[in-house]
Structure 1
């Protein structure tokens, strides 16, 4: 299945530097080459840009981000399509793990970072989102909207009602921004107690971050991806985990279809607001 949305993008990239209106085309990987394209983009973003220390399976070709969950996942791709030159390079990707696929894989990736036992009643209809990334030249709201629209349609087709996953925050400041963001958002966006999960390796939430957050200084702005999730109706499942390999603090998030903001429900799921 492919979906397209209109977009206009200005980029230093030679292919994209044209005066034509571009279309963002999303489709699900249906061959090994598609999956390799996604893994190549992930490597550029996570390893080369963010400095992640990836540990792919033995024999993985260089320049790819690969882990044991990839063979069980469906991979969503978005490309910019020029009306004259046709499809361009891959500019964004997500991977998703269905409940059935998670059982075959031995669990969700999120299970490796959090104790998800409280979510047991939801897992049978829960989709895991992961490895989301967008090429640096294309980080715009239109790319994210194109990806989320395809994800919403996927959930409807598979009769799923819950999304779970992690949203990452860089650790360049040794976790201070992530800790401050948690202290702020847990007051307004934390799930009810019965759904709360605990990290397996917790980010230290020191008192300095709490005191700083309670001061008159401006609170940290949520990264665009987290802000988008929260605007749609996502909730925090608990405090952030420390991901040493990716050098990030990962916030566990859950979005249930019934909680999606009315203005997005029709667009993403085709359901009445």
Structure 2
């Protein structure tokens, strides 16, 4: 037969089938879980010690049960990653189905990458996926590291880059942040002066990781509030997203009634 069902009576679910299912259930996302020390990093010379933790990589649950060490290359910079490498073979001992059966997993390991990370689609014929957990810079005898936040389905709050010419209004609250949680991006902001940005309307530059998950970016519209000089009148505006930036579009004939030195609001949209 050309059709099968893996979760059927007497059938066998292979690791490949299992990983494909879990990956699909989490929208093919990857990242670390809030388990153990969340892969805490310490450095001694060129030796890095990575603490306990768990990560979901292409639908596979990878865990550091006890701290692991890794030697970094000297005079280099790059990324510390957890690799899932299907070209490797695992070692087995004992008899399957008995307490003596054991598997030594060689398909998951730590690696220092000095070039571009390899991130194949393991569920569609790929063989290697490297999940970054820290960056590093080394000299001949020592190294420094910086943790890369890749919490599964949650980036945490990050600073949102303003568009060229856009600045914060010094007389008001000043913040612009974004967060991606479960495939949805939320941008919150207040006190942005648009008068010197392109068209007096550009709000933000769009980081690659939060490009909207649509084909017609101009159709992605969300309500924000824009205040005039005195912060007394509220004029409704729409936030429009394209592949590079976010800008405002006035919803009524109010342009010119104020210099719009104070933009604030919330934008929510799907990414990925």
Shorter-chain TM-score: what band? Answer: under 0.3
Taking CA–CA contacts closer than 8 Å with sequence separation of 6 or more, which of the two structures ends up with the larger relative contact order? 1
**TM-score in terms of structure 2 length:** 0.27
**TM-score in terms of structure 1 length:** 0.27
More helix by share: 1
More strand by share: 2
